Structure 1
Amino acid sequence: TRITLEVVCESLRAIVKEMRASIIRASFSSAIYELDDFSCALFNPQADMVAQSDDHPGHVMPMPWSVKCAMEDFQGNIFPGDVLLLNDAYRGGTHLNDVTLLYPIFNDGELFIFPAVRAHWADVGGMTPGSYSGLATSIYQEGVRIPPIKLYERGRVNEGVMRLLLSNMRLPDERYGDLNASLGACRVAEQRIEKILGKYGRTLVLDCISENLDRSERRIRARIQDLPDGEYCYEDYLEYYDGDVLDPVLMRLRLKVSGDQLTADFDGSSPQVPGVVNSSLAVTGAGVFVAVKSTLDPQGPVNSGAFRAIALNAPEASIVDVRADAPAGAHGEVRKRAVSVMLGALAQVIPEAVSGDLSGTSFPNSIGGYSKSRDRSYVYIEVPAGGNGGFLEADGSSAFVNVDFGSIRSIHNVESLESDMPLQVRSCVLREDSGGEGERRGGLGMRRELRLCEGEALYSVLGDRAIIPPFGMHGGGPAKQLSVTWERGQTVKLFGTPGKVTGHRIQKGDVVIMESAGGGGYGDPLNRDPEDVRSDMLSGYITRHRAEAGYGVLFTGEWEVDDDRTSALRLDMLGRRLRLTVKADETYPYIGNRGKRRAVRLSEGTITGLGVRVGDLIELMGNHPAPLRCWIEFGEEVEQDICPMDEFGRRVLGVEQAESVWVRSLPGPSAAGGMAV
């Protein structure tokens, strides 16, 4: 009956929730018990995820790939008491820090279900404490790569494997504790599953699992069926440095809707590079699914049945389907960029259902060293949350985890941090002016300052959106990019490769300043209610300069809105917007060295009129909600106020030959002199 179906399925979800509670109580690493950077799920022998809870989408959605790989490696050779361990980023993993434990449970001599835990281990070896390296060129620099192995065999631990793994990781006692926390959670699941089987029997439980998967599939297919058939295009970038030269890589998407089936085709995306901007197809697929599920069916259950209606296509050995031996640590950045390009494409189909772009990076920071006062080593991990995009009904949320981060907490607990490690939080505030301008403002990022209180340490960060900002929708403005600096004495210093740092040595008294990106705006900022702009300014969310220059709002001496002057200024700002006429041109539009970025060739007069330089980044806005980003190149043969554009670019913007596009220059460092050609 339907009641029995619901009771069984919710019982399985309750098991996953209890697994989570067990891990939080028993884990050793603050990355788990403070940041909640772990996930639990149940799988059947066919590698279908049958239940999950309040988990991290970036963990649970790639996990079926990992389970499938383990099943393939040990087909017919899995027995009661076996425990499997893996973190291989090329085989369904995310980054190497995310270690997956699989605990097969048997019933009547047959494999019945897999409780699984994917937990972020704060260090898995590699070239830097925390195993984060913004400038790694090979996966071997990112830590120990674990293929599917038996850590326990028929109930007996493989001591040799255990010693081998822990000997190659920093803080081995902490790693051992986190491993046992995962193992203990799976044993709790085993006890609860035995009770369910005793009450309902194997056949009924399997029937309920099968029906739950099928109805999840029917539900998502019904949502896709409501979309108009067609192909919808978008593209975006990740920031790769070839040495210290920025050479962005391209993520290019054709989203195909046919009946109740959706295909995300990433053909044309950049080949993989020796830098931290690659990830696996499992991770890319997670980003696709997050965008589809959160946009079309946010209330429905998440299981493998809902995945069936979505197909993926990607070139092998590319940034979206990485192969050995390229780095794969950028799983968060690739997943978030997949969400971004999906939002850009879905905006052409359901324009009112999407938001401005997310902050666009997981922004993991790590500080590692030895504390003499505590007589032990330490590794600090934090992922300062950024802003979310504005949307139809409201402004974006500020300093809040993006939708693909699920249960992860946005701010590391200060008391726990300062008691466990020789670090002091000097400040933690919202970042003024960081949200994208819009009728609905993008959410703000945060500024967090950490002071090293003793000794020396190594600092690393693996971020993105430090140069290319999150985009707005429906004319909304871009958000402010992330920023990382460090302070010694009275001097604030920059890093040579913004957003990507490996093992920078800091000393007692130094301060690391982490500023996360905001979210993109939604709607024309000149349409924002002037009273909302005033409220933002008085609340410290925006400066007076942003209120005037971005929103066209002027104030009286008493900080009241000057309605007449505001109306006049907004009308003037609207009239000064620059527009170019599109000319169909199928010349290959991309330039770069190892990377690939879109160039737009403009006349000298047009470049001067725009107030920009060759190499600068601009965005074009057409009839579709999302913008098209381009880098300016000089086109000697191009006429004044003409914008040559290939078919893909025209499809992104929804424009035809002779239609006009609105041009906006983007904030941040000029690309001139600092870009690969």
Structure 2
Amino acid sequence: MKSAIPGSDEFTSRPLPRAELLSRISPRLPLHQLDDEQTHQVNALTYEVVRHRLWAITQEMGETLRRMSGSHVVTESNDFNFSICDELGEQVQVGTYNIGLIGSMDLAVTWTLQHRSDNPGIAEGDMFLCNDPWIGGGLHQNDAAVLAPIFHDGKLFGWTTAIAHQVDLGGPRPGSFSPSAHDVFGEAVPTPPVKVVRDGVLQRDIADAWVRRSRLPHLVGLDLRAKIAANKNAGEQILRLIGKYGADTVKAVMRRMMNDAERRLRAKLETLPDGTWTAVGYQEQAHTGDRGLHPIKVAMTKERDRLVFDFRGTAGQTGIINCPYPGLRAGIVFTVLPLLAGDIPWAAGGLMRCFEIVTDEDTITNASFPAAVGKGPFGPAWGAGNLVAEVLAKMLDAKPARRGDVQSICNGTTDLCVVSGVDVRSGARKGFVSPVFDVMAGGYGAQVHYDGVDTGGRLIIPSARAPDVEMTEYLYPLVALWRREQTDSGGPGRQRGGMSGSVCYVQHPDQTGTMSLVVSGTGKAANQNVGLAGGHPGNSQLDLVVRGIDVPRLAGATAIPAGLDELGGDIEVLPCEGESHLGPDDALYLHWQAGGGYGDPLLRPAGNVRDDVLHARVSAEAARDVYGVVLREDGEVDPAATDETRGRLRQQRATGSGLPGTRPAPIGAPDLSGARRLDDNLAVLESPDGGTVVCTHCGTGIGPLAGGAFVAALARRDAAPADAGPHIWRDPSVYVDAEIVFRQLFCPGCLTAVYSRVVPVHHPLPDDDYRSWT
């Protein structure tokens, strides 16, 4: 009998070549398989009809789960997803909900094939329940998946999967997130795939053991049944499709869908420049009481039609800010699909063939058991995804035909706050756990030709929704003083980043006692939502509790407070990772992240800035101090004052940059015919020795491209973080010990910003991005 020791390789998953996977599956499990030749024998009309039917089935899975679930995570915020897979787990069709939840679903299926096909066996009518982040399917223990095999004529034809975030699966803290956990044993229990449905019958012993761990067993039990129903409905529809067109035809369409997606993405990659691009980001505070910054590093190499993401050099696993390999892979997938494959049907199995991952073991993006991994999805997985988005944008920006696809980083990460307590409004005492999902309304990053979408949602959850405030107030003993877009939150740039919002909650007037708060959020000191090509980052994430507010909670209130200043009381700044409480006279304030800007803010047309001020997207003060645009009392642009202010701001950039006394060169239209563009500000004049980098605005020759040598010739200035704008938290020392600066690099001629980041002072310069270029 084969046994497995918890924590060994038996309880981890990695992609396997098809032939090797087949060798590890029990010969007692018959598989329905096709040769590649058979995938080309389906006519075009049949292919399109079956392909679209498979797509419709996944959407119907979403409706089934939403209608059956009682959790606002599903019904209000769409934090779930689905997939249809072939017999070996490759994903043929995925939903447009939380893409992170299907980024490693195939790994969960392949693990189940390897470790469950012999004992207890995989048979018709079975389903498997899993929430083990090392195996796949979800990014942390709260992501619970149900995997359902589909059999036809006694052979395993394929799989359907349904997964959703569960509000609470146990552990020491409500919501199953523990900022002080030392390892996974201080969090919710991970469960490898167990047979929860056998021969079409729910196994009550497994279901009871599953819900017993939760503080909200009725919600977890209902979600379990909803996922089973979604899978059952999808399986029946796929069998009806097989009955109409034949198993070989449907399987041929499935294989062709993945092959076509792979072919189209590889063809797109062939059109993009080869090279290596790098990025470094940071996770703040590894656990309660920590004050460190923990780097994630990626070097993306594109060669012909493939990508390699190399994460070597990332910080070692520590505290709670870890994700296993499946989470890292999910972070790549939820970035690559919308940014590179937005115009390709999401047959994820084919798309994932186009990239490889290189990573060190025992790091925060490839953590080994028993590391604490509860923060995986909105910590290192999302942080890695942000860096992948950054390097993809740099690659796309260097290809003129693809510059329309460039996008600065969207909303950084989620702002996790779990509110819990006992609801006494109805006279009965009822426990509740409520993650604040208003934060779904994040700002999108700016593009080369467009501003970012304001409070548009989540890049990684195309169908994300912020819940209806009235539904939140109905379900939980909370009252919203406001939920609004926040002026100045979007990253300044030639194109402005999309705005984020804030929400302020107080206890319901009929509520008594104290509520517990668990908070976790990165991007409070060193920004996650960076800008590109000189664009500033979006706002710093900020979580506060205001103690002893003067504003009435509900009864007697006559107006919506305009801001924190009108609440009275004393402000408690909440940490990146930690716990607090919300009393009857307190207010909870969350300000989540916006999108980064693109291009130098001083290049934004003054009329656009005027419109931003008119619509309260930018304050008049930020218009003057960041964009250099001065408005008259009637709200119109003062051209002379604006020219003078922008000239003065450019001149100020020389202070501390190593160019004292420099007068900015005039911005004109230099002759760059034949030059190869690197981004909004830089281009390369080709020459046999690798070329010279020049400014696209004034024509100044900056330095050699070879080895990134020109970066050293850029003017550099490190200033206080507040110099980036009023949206940046002014005192990072509240969170971390490292010195944080607003770093900018400028053209030495016209002093146009080509790089703008809020980073630790030791953050590397971007010269590595050009070392492989010739």
- Aligned to 2:395, the other structure's residue is in SS state coil
Where does residue 669 of structure 1 map in the other structure?
A: none
d(CA) in 2 for partners of 1:133, 1:622: 43
d(CA) in 2 for partners of 1:362, 1:632: 25
Per-residue displacement from partner, 1:583-609 (whole Å, max 9, x unpaired)? Answer: xxxxxxxxxxxxxxxxxxxxxx99899
Sort the Cα spacing of 1:621 and 1:500 in 2 relative to 1 into closer, same or farther, 3 A: same
Sort the Cα spacing of 1:295 and 1:52 in 2 relative to 1 into closer, same or farther, 3 A: closer
* Residues 35-46 of structure 1 aligned to structure 2 (within 5 Å): 35-46=77-88
Shift of 1:163: 2.1
d(CA) in 2 for partners of 1:609, 1:95: 36
Sort the Cα spacing of 1:267 and 1:625 in 2 relative to 1 into closer, same or farther, 3 A: farther
d(CA) in 1 for partners of 2:587, 2:622: 28
Where does residue 293 of structure 1 map in the other structure?
A: 337
Per-residue displacement from partner, 1:305-342 (whole Å, max 9, x unpaired)? Answer: 11101111111111111221222122123233223212
Amino acid at match of 1:422: P
d(CA) in 2 for partners of 1:98, 1:243: 23
Per-residue displacement from partner, 1:533-554 (whole Å, max 9, x unpaired)? Answer: 1121122222221011101111
Where does residue 56 of structure 1 map in the other structure?
A: 98
Where does residue 558 of structure 2 map in the other structure?
A: none
Tell me whether 1:487 sits opposite 2:604 in the alignment: no
Of 500, 510, 521 in structure 1, the residue corresponding to residue 577 of structure 2 is: 500
d(CA) in 2 for partners of 1:609, 1:484: 21
Of 149, 157, 163 in structure 2, the residue corresponding to residue 118 of structure 1 is: 163
d(CA) in 2 for partners of 1:427, 1:530: 31
Shift of 1:576: 1.7
d(CA) in 1 for partners of 2:233, 2:385: 34
* Residues 378-417 of structure 1 aligned to structure 2 (within 5 Å): 378-383=432-437, 384=439, 385-409=441-465, 411-417=466-472
Per-residue displacement from partner, 1:264-313 (whole Å, max 9, x unpaired)? Answer: 111111111112x2212222223323333333331111121111011111
Amino acid at match of 1:178: D
Shift of 1:160: 2.6
Q: How many pairs were matched up?
A: 620
Per-residue displacement from partner, 1:609-639 (whole Å, max 9, x unpaired)? Answer: 9999982323243689665665337xxxxxx
Where does residue 448 of structure 1 map in the other structure?
A: 503
Where does residue 616 of structure 1 map in the other structure?
A: 740
Q: Is the 8 A contact 2:545 2:572 kept in 1?
A: yes
Q: Give the CA RMSD over aligned residues.
A: 2.7
Q: Is the 8 A contact 2:442 2:457 kept in 1?
A: yes
Amino acid at match of 1:571: G
Tell me whether 1:362 sits opposite 2:479 in the alignment: no
d(CA) in 1 for partners of 2:298, 2:484: 36
Where does residue 620 of structure 2 map in the other structure?
A: 544
Amino acid at match of 1:335: A
Where does residue 328 of structure 2 map in the other structure?
A: 284
Sort the Cα spacing of 1:65 and 1:435 in 2 relative to 1 into closer, same or farther, 3 A: same
d(CA) in 1 for partners of 2:658, 2:262: 45
Sort the Cα spacing of 1:243 and 1:227 in 2 relative to 1 into closer, same or farther, 3 A: same
Sort the Cα spacing of 1:551 and 1:493 in 2 relative to 1 into closer, same or farther, 3 A: same
Sort the Cα spacing of 1:606 and 1:513 in 2 relative to 1 into closer, same or farther, 3 A: closer
Amino acid at match of 1:342: V
Amino acid at match of 1:477: H
Shift of 1:531: 1.6
d(CA) in 2 for partners of 1:373, 1:226: 61
d(CA) in 2 for partners of 1:95, 1:321: 13
Shift of 1:246: 2.1
Shift of 1:140: 2.6
Where does residue 462 of structure 1 map in the other structure?
A: 520
Q: Is the 8 A contact 1:495 1:501 kept in 2?
A: no
- Aligned to 1:388, the other structure's residue is in SS state coil
Where does residue 347 of structure 1 map in the other structure?
A: 393
Amino acid at match of 1:19: M
d(CA) in 2 for partners of 1:177, 1:630: 44
* Residues 208-607 of structure 1 aligned to structure 2 (within 5 Å): 208-241=253-286, 243-275=288-320, 277-303=321-347, 304-330=349-375, 331-351=377-397, 352=403, 353-374=405-426, 375=428, 376-383=430-437, 384=439, 385-409=441-465, 411-453=466-508, 454-455=511-512, 456-469=514-527, 470-490=529-549, 491-495=569-573, 497=575, 499-502=576-579, 504-578=580-654, 580=657
Q: Is the 8 A contact 2:719 2:742 kept in 1?
A: no
d(CA) in 2 for partners of 1:608, 1:289: 36
Sort the Cα spacing of 1:295 and 1:418 in 2 relative to 1 into closer, same or farther, 3 A: closer
Sort the Cα spacing of 1:438 and 1:356 in 2 relative to 1 into closer, same or farther, 3 A: same
- Aligned to 2:326, the other structure's residue is in SS state helix
Amino acid at match of 1:461: V
Tell me the TM-score normalized by structure 1.
Answer: 0.86
Tell me whether 1:73 sits opposite 2:115 in the alignment: yes
Of 198, 203, 217 in structure 1, the residue corresponding to residue 243 of structure 2 is: 198
Q: Is the 8 A contact 1:390 1:521 kept in 2?
A: yes
- Aligned to 2:396, the other structure's residue is in SS state coil
Tell me whether 1:650 sits opposite 2:767 in the alignment: yes
Per-residue displacement from partner, 1:147-193 (whole Å, max 9, x unpaired)? Answer: 11111233343333222221111111111111111111111112211
Per-residue displacement from partner, 1:208-234 (whole Å, max 9, x unpaired)? Answer: 111111111101100111122222222
Amino acid at match of 2:93: A
- Aligned to 1:271, the other structure's residue is in SS state coil
Where does residue 10 of structure 1 map in the other structure?
A: 52
Comparing 158-167 with 114-123, greater Cα deviation is found at 158-167
Q: Is the 8 A contact 1:166 1:175 kept in 2?
A: yes
Shift of 1:18: 1.0
- Aligned to 1:104, the other structure's residue is in SS state strand
- The gaps in structure 2 that reach 5 residues or longer are 1-42, 398-402, 550-568, 660-715, 724-732, 748-752
d(CA) in 1 for partners of 2:322, 2:760: 22
d(CA) in 2 for partners of 1:608, 1:236: 19
d(CA) in 2 for partners of 1:224, 1:626: 26
Q: Percent identity?
A: 26
Tell me whether 1:186 sits opposite 2:231 in the alignment: yes
Shift of 1:518: 1.6
Sort the Cα spacing of 1:327 and 1:495 in 2 relative to 1 into closer, same or farther, 3 A: farther
d(CA) in 1 for partners of 2:718, 2:626: 22
Where does residue 19 of structure 2 map in the other structure?
A: none
Amino acid at match of 2:761: I
* Residues 92-111 of structure 1 aligned to structure 2 (within 5 Å): 92=136, 93-111=138-156
d(CA) in 1 for partners of 2:317, 2:274: 31
